[in-house]
Structure 1
């Protein structure tokens, strides 16, 4: 058949084909395929691949491809990376996508790092860590053994844990190795705080003392309280030490001289927590950089201005119930911007600029569930059986860890959180070191630490 005759035939067949319904068209194609040889079938296969298998991700501009990829969940993204080299290249070059999925897991993202492969690696590591939290595989435990009587006072800083005991001693431990670095003779310690040179202790004998680590010598003693001292804090720049006591008072001392500068009254219950911290926000009554003293008892938190002028009046009294029907737990936290404290109803967060309650997290069993530490992304809580990690964005429990039968004190000093920077967002480096410590009935200290993330 010559070309002219073929073109007339093809035009006639095409017109007839277009007049058929779908079923008739399908039957016609099936018949033609059955009559085709190898060359025709190869041609048909190549043509169909071009028509039906268009790679839209490759054809789209990168900006549109990135926009579409942001709608995919992380697991689908990882699956798409396996489709072909081109898809893997496009997906691995989308920094915003991988930064976004990292943030969803509670990971910090540094906007200055624009390497998508870096953030993909961070995501994979983050996913592993979050799965470990869920499956109770994120932590390991160890014990510190050395005291011969009840351990009540605990304080953690920079990889070192200080313990104060009824055996009239205080010890400083390297949490990583479990080795005791210093051990000095003291009094019965109800609270401790330390730095590189000194240790400050509050005691059940109603006194506060300052000791030198290297020699064990008592540098200073602070006498004046008529009840046990449950909490201390100090600031070398101000040369000030503050203490909260069972005599319902807060005392302000000269750290170097040991003299009492002021006694702050107004509490009607044991003062179980004092915090000395700079304000990071401004309000009508304070400015950024002002030193603020917080003191807490069973029902109230009092806010005091404490700068160069030692004599001060209470700025504000915070509570969660006017009739004192709701008790506060002694886990007061203040970072200069927010005040956080748990109660018999749940966890309360106050804005320090306005003193308004900005968040209340209701818990199923708040009477038994205690707050350890509160961050921007996660919170650490525990009860008689488990340590819990809560995602504050959803208020859902991300993971838990079993705890042994320990001595849980209502005053809250025989347990503490370790490294807390990860509560503001994990970054792949701050999920290490101490998570939780508590004293045990056998006078040892039980530690919960992050497992190394491979």
Structure 2
């Protein structure tokens, strides 16, 4: 017998003897002493064979069985389900095990659902979806056709996509059916935002307008900027609209009256993005529930208090480099807790409570890779050739999708993400609908959508 084989045999023998009681162990030793070498080996082999044939899933307490199952990888769990009906019944009843493997794949877990078969089914769907992402089979494409000139402005909400064009029109589309719901005559649009009743547009003609969808009538006009308006945001409960312009300023307007309440200065580059959002955290300068305005240019992000006072002063300026050697991209994101922005060095995430940089995600080509949306589990990025899904827990690309030659603008809003809830964790339902939209040189809008899993 070779040394390695003998050592393995010896370990098996030792393990076998540990399972015996003192009386059984003494009896076995007495028997071994009275037998020849070959007979001793046969006796031990028979004892080990009987031990190995014991069904530990039947013999162990259920709590201990579930604990042991936690150590198995998902594929082994599925293989074990095929051993027999009893094994399948026990393994399929372990809710925490299947919840755990779903979480490992980026699926959000609702602890109120304790049906193990539900989570096993979710895992199988999750595994299929992640394989599709890896194999470039998770998405499909379609196009919206109807504009006769460049489409520059895009905004998505609740299954509806608004497009603003140089053909002096804005259209509202049902992404699911591809049908145009509304089409109204406007000015040339650099940015758009809408709700059920109205559309707000910022224009290259330096003005902002508010339109009624049902009639196409202009409800309000906002004049005062001396450069193109690249970004707008508004809150009806504040009766406030904010705008960022190529004239380096941010303006705060009365939404209903159309009058300028304040002009915020301090930017030294085009203001390409403004966001009006409630803070969800507390710091030295703001409280939860306070309305905060973020404005971004090529190098800086400024934080302003809105609602406390008319003549507000900048609370904080966030930047990547003090010497302005690193550019920010206009895809600023703020959810009340974190500020996220992409730069030529990578994707930066700030904690809004402390204004500290929490993480910097380095990519292979950060100058050409743009941020679309940033979640808790996944991030959506793109370059001139592909749409990328990044797992933020590992900072690895888990899937990509080829893109056509589209009209990319580093200053404007000619591309956007669709449904973003799945970036905080897939839940078996939110992997549907629009993923990405961009304007094309032929004036159409190219859509990337989740492929339906039947």
Q: Whose radius of gyration is greater, 1 or 2?
A: 1
Q: Distance in 2 between matches of 1:128 and 1:424?
A: 19
Secondary structure of 2:280's match? coil
Counting only pairs closer than 5 Å after superposition, residues 199-218 of structure 1 correspond to structure 2 as: 199-218=199-218
Following superposition, the deviation at residue 62 of structure 1 comes to 1.0
Following superposition, the deviation at residue 311 of structure 1 comes to 2.1
Change (3 A) 1:15 1:130: closer
| Deviates further, 80-89 or 214-223 | 80-89
CA contact (8 A) 1:347 1:360 kept: yes
| Deviates further, 408-417 or 320-329 | 408-417
Change (3 A) 1:319 1:34: same
Following superposition, the deviation at residue 52 of structure 1 comes to 3.7
1:141-197 deviations in Å (ceiling 9; x for gaps)? 000000000000000000000000000000000000000000000000000000000
1:382-411 deviations in Å (ceiling 9; x for gaps)? 000000000000000010000000011011
CA contact (8 A) 1:252 1:263 kept: yes
Q: Distance in 1 between matches of 2:240 and 2:39?
A: 94
Change (3 A) 1:27 1:262: closer
Change (3 A) 1:20 1:42: closer
Change (3 A) 1:435 1:2: closer
Provide the residue aligned with 1:416 in structure 2: 416
Listed as ranges, the gaps of 5+ residues in structure 2 are: none
Secondary structure of 1:237's match? helix
| Deviates further, 31-40 or 424-433 | 31-40
Structural RMSD (CA)? 7.5
Listed as ranges, the gaps of 5+ residues in structure 1 are: none
Change (3 A) 1:93 1:305: same
Change (3 A) 1:47 1:445: same
Q: How many corresponding residue pairs?
A: 454
Secondary structure of 1:397's match? strand
Following superposition, the deviation at residue 64 of structure 1 comes to 1.1
1:199-229 deviations in Å (ceiling 9; x for gaps)? 0000000000000000000000000000000
Q: Distance in 1 between matches of 2:270 and 2:10?
A: 100
Change (3 A) 1:80 1:34: farther
Q: Distance in 1 between matches of 2:15 and 2:165?
A: 99
Q: Distance in 2 between matches of 1:42 and 1:364?
A: 61
CA contact (8 A) 1:238 1:308 kept: no
Change (3 A) 1:337 1:17: closer
Provide the residue aligned with 1:36 in structure 2: 36
Secondary structure of 1:318's match? strand
Change (3 A) 1:280 1:3: closer
Following superposition, the deviation at residue 412 of structure 1 comes to 3.8
Q: Distance in 2 between matches of 1:422 and 1:178?
A: 22
| Deviates further, 29-38 or 385-394 | 29-38
Following superposition, the deviation at residue 63 of structure 1 comes to 1.2
Q: Distance in 1 between matches of 2:372 and 2:171?
A: 22
CA contact (8 A) 2:351 2:357 kept: yes
| Deviates further, 17-26 or 245-254 | 17-26
Counting only pairs closer than 5 Å after superposition, residues 125-164 of structure 1 correspond to structure 2 as: 125-164=125-164
Provide the residue aligned with 1:92 in structure 2: 92
Following superposition, the deviation at residue 45 of structure 1 comes to 13
Change (3 A) 1:15 1:448: closer
Q: Distance in 2 between matches of 1:364 and 1:14?
A: 53
CA contact (8 A) 2:13 2:44 kept: no
Following superposition, the deviation at residue 9 of structure 1 comes to 30
Following superposition, the deviation at residue 115 of structure 1 comes to 1.0
Following superposition, the deviation at residue 300 of structure 1 comes to 0.2
Change (3 A) 1:10 1:260: closer
Secondary structure of 1:87's match? helix
